[in-house]
Amino acid sequence: MDRALIQAELQTIFHDVLRAPGFVPTPEMETGAHPNWTSIANVEILLSAEELWGFEFSSADIDGVRSFGDLIDAVAAKLG
């Protein structure tokens, strides 16, 4: 899947989970970049991505996810 498309889908997930429809995450942003982007919200974002694309992250997959850009990479890797 195209990275731009993954980014757009993830942005929708962020809007829903953070209840922040105007929030535009950029690749370098990390947890805390939005006040609602807490560690609990982070779990929901990961789980929402799993549900949307029908895969499951392993601990090794999420180990490298520190930023929004890393998350795009992790999803792209799972989707091959």
DSSP string, 31-79: TTSSTT--HHHHHHHHHHHHHHHT----HHHHHT--BHHHHHHHHHHHH
Piece in contact with another protein (CB under 8 A), picked from 5-13, 21-29, 35-43, 71-79: 35-43
Other Cβ atoms closer than 10 A to 51: 11
Which residue in the set 26, 66, 77, 79 belongs to the binding site for another protein (CB under 8 A)?
66
Q: Nearer to another protein by C-beta: 8 or 32?
A: 32
In whole angstroms, the minimum distance from the beta carbon of 56 to another protein comes to: 8
Structure tokens at 14: 């962020």
Q: Is 35 in the site for another protein (CB under 8 A)?
A: no
Interface with another protein (CB under 8 A): 31, 38-44, 46-47, 57-60, 62-63, 65-66
